[in-house]
Chain A
């Protein structure tokens, strides 16, 4: 039975920090290129939702039996973050949702586990990470924020495998190169040279084993990316893989940064989006050992169209001032608006309204057709009671009917840009805009919905939907 990838997508947040901005402020730090920056209203859960929405849209027939979520920076501990993704993706209750948490290696580990489980049905593997570092640190500059979602399954009519998993290998070694104690915002690292001397031979071992398991030679590999938070080790290993010239592909480090637990998934999405049928594609990930995954793209890849290619998202990014970056990361605390902070979300109220809050599902009066956002039992037209059908607007685009900018209301990053939206297919809802420059908004603009975190109070994240401008690859 052929097992592999039936759908895949990456998610790169809209904002970029130009690394040169760091040295302009501090006199040191930063570097060349840019890193991606999650918005103040994004966390690994919301980025994971955005990646998963794109992956599911790229494989319309896929019905996952399980949802695995891996990150090194979970929004919650104890509570399963995959359950939030499960709700936002409107998955049936029978779909199991599990977190793989803590370690950077949990991302490639989840992917490998799903790929190995032949005959186990389709698993939606979502990886996301948000990389912090102290101002001027290497981690601040080299890190990136992002997510990827991979639908792993067995080849079947309606859900063809676009990249067959040929095989892989993992090697494990206990050594301290990078670590973070729970609660710390920053990671700590041992002397760089030590890690390099461990990772390069471990990676070379895993590479040879992986090629053998896949039944291919290094020369047959068309595209490969070596990834890992130890940049020097990844580069050094790349030179030793023995692949053809030009096979070593862009690891996104100059445009996105290293997205930790998400990065193997993100570069895999990027590789497959650029591949043609019949190519051998591999990813090597260095984290507490090494993991190698080798694929061969299938004929089905020709008919597969990515929802929102990584390259387009990378190109559409817009720069963020370094001060905003530090604010969003909690490294500096600016004066907040003189308004009370929001109260915590009611758990029971949120549960009752799960489809609305997490799925953006309203209701439609069967008689008048009037769409109600949020859902209502009594119609605003005609007076029908309890005669509504659910209506999903999370994937609908909308047009801005009117808008305003609120400079006084509480927001983690004022001002609030707020618009009244008229949805394609019916329905109006006033909602906050995000990933937007207030000066560019206009009546008639087209927007789409995105899953975000409105605020956090009493340790409870308030997840709901916002709208963001529909951008083309050339925008920004």
Chain B
């Protein structure tokens, strides 16, 4: 029994990503075609040259046909995957494992979500018939319970914590403002952030991820074939996944100051990739900042800061674009937007751009370090799924 990983056996050789936005004028099919065509062009391949497809969407469609129809894929193995907000990452994980297994030479992962056709704010779960006793809170409310618990445990005062969370939002808006594909392209002052209307608990509008439509895609091949398609492949070092049992909701021991599933996934990924000093080995990290307290806690779950210290690191600018470890240089869920099925692949897309030195100059980060991390979670504190990947530009 072991998690062996597939370090250096699979490479990403092409990627694409639409702008994430309220695309009132684009359908799910439009978004899929836009992301897929950009990805095909990026890899120099046609749709027929791809052997197998994995399509991630949380609730914009069902079955592989949701992808096969708009792309007019003829008789290809196309599988739809869903795993809450980690859906896009799961599509890539499946495609990478399919190539690593030797079953296929070339596989493609596409993630897409059309959320803005519902007529409602925020994200809304697909209703499954039930006994009517399940909680019906918004994600914002569930995650809002993290901030006061963290503050109490580590002695961070209410005002100080507000400043920390506003700083995270401010940073992600700074980054998004410089990113042409981001949903929100405006810098926002911490004063505006703190004064925004409350949504749940102490969380205001600017503590919450943007809700957007969008699509992103990647093509993977065996590592030894990668240079046939690009001279700058991104090698997969680790893909890890952990699903919680949901016990956090009913276990009195759980204190809402960390996400055990994320810590577990990080440990596994670091073992697969041979990471021993996560704080200092990555050029950048894309993490699932669905709400500002989530990003705060993740800095500790991912080993970027010791328990109880992430709030100080946030204030010190450690995770700013020009800090020691840039976190969410593309703007994150906060300002890049969160089309559920696409978000995991969007995180890879930022690693792809930054590690290859292809981000626009005003937002290109230092790439002395050759590794990047992506972290994607789904669910809520207490019942969560978590994904962590490590990718890099060099083998070994």
Contacts and interface: CB of A to CB of B under 8 A. Distances in A.
Interface in B223-255: 245, 247, 249-252, 254
B120 interface: yes
Interface in A374-393: 374, 380
B140 A408 contact: yes
Contacts of B137: 404, 406, 409, 416, 418
A80 B129 CA distance: 23
Interface in A359-407: 370-374, 380, 401-407
A407 B127 CA distance: 21
B141 A406 contact: yes
Interface string A327-347: 000000000001110110110
A350 B198 CA distance: 35
B124 interface: yes
A428 B382 CA distance: 12
A427 B130 CA distance: 22
B124 A407 contact: no
B121 A408 contact: yes
B133 A464 contact: yes
Interface in B79-122: 118, 120-122
A349 B145 CA distance: 30
B121 A403 contact: no
A380 B247 contact: yes
A394 to B, nearest CB: 13
Contacts of B198: 405, 407
A360 to B, nearest CB: 9
A387 to B, nearest CB: 17
A342 B136 contact: yes
A346 B131 contact: yes
B170 interface: no
A404 B127 contact: no
A430 interface: yes
Given A339-B120, A339-B124, A407-B198, A416 B141 contact: yes
Given A338-B121, A380-B247, A428-B251, A357 B138 contact: no
Q: Is the interface of A mostly helix, strand, loop or mixed?
A: mixed
B253 to A, nearest CB: 9
Interface residues of A, number: 44
Given A339-B122, A427-B250, A404 B131 contact: no
A428 B249 contact: yes
A409 B131 contact: no
Contacts of B272: none
B130 A349 contact: yes
Contact of A380 (B135, B200, B250): B250
A418 to B, nearest CB: 6
A352 interface: yes
A343 B128 CA distance: 9
B142 to A, nearest CB: 8
A349 B140 contact: no
B120 to A, nearest CB: 5
A187 interface: no
A462 B247 CA distance: 25
Contacts of B256: 402, 420
Max chain A CB contacts within 10 Å: which of B127, B131, B245?
Answer: B131
Interface in B191-227: 198-201
A288 interface: no
Contact of B148 (A380, A402, A407, A418): A402
Contact of A409 (B118, B141, B250): B141
Contacts of B148: 402, 443
Nearest to B249: A430
A374 B133 CA distance: 9
Nearest to B118: A340
B138 A409 contact: yes
Given A352-B131, A404-B141, A409-B137, A429 B201 contact: no
A462 B122 CA distance: 24
Interface of B: 118, 120-122, 124, 127, 129-133, 135-138, 140-142, 144-145, 148-149, 152, 198-201, 245, 247, 249-252, 254, 256, 382
Interface of A: 338-340, 342-343, 345-346, 349-350, 352-353, 356-357, 370-374, 380, 401-410, 416, 418, 420, 422, 426-431, 443, 454, 462-464
17 contacts: A338-B120, A339-B122, A343-B127, A345-B131, A349-B131, A357-B131, A380-B247, A404-B142, A404-B201, A406-B137, A406-B140, A408-B121, A408-B122, A409-B136, A418-B141, A443-B152, A464-B132
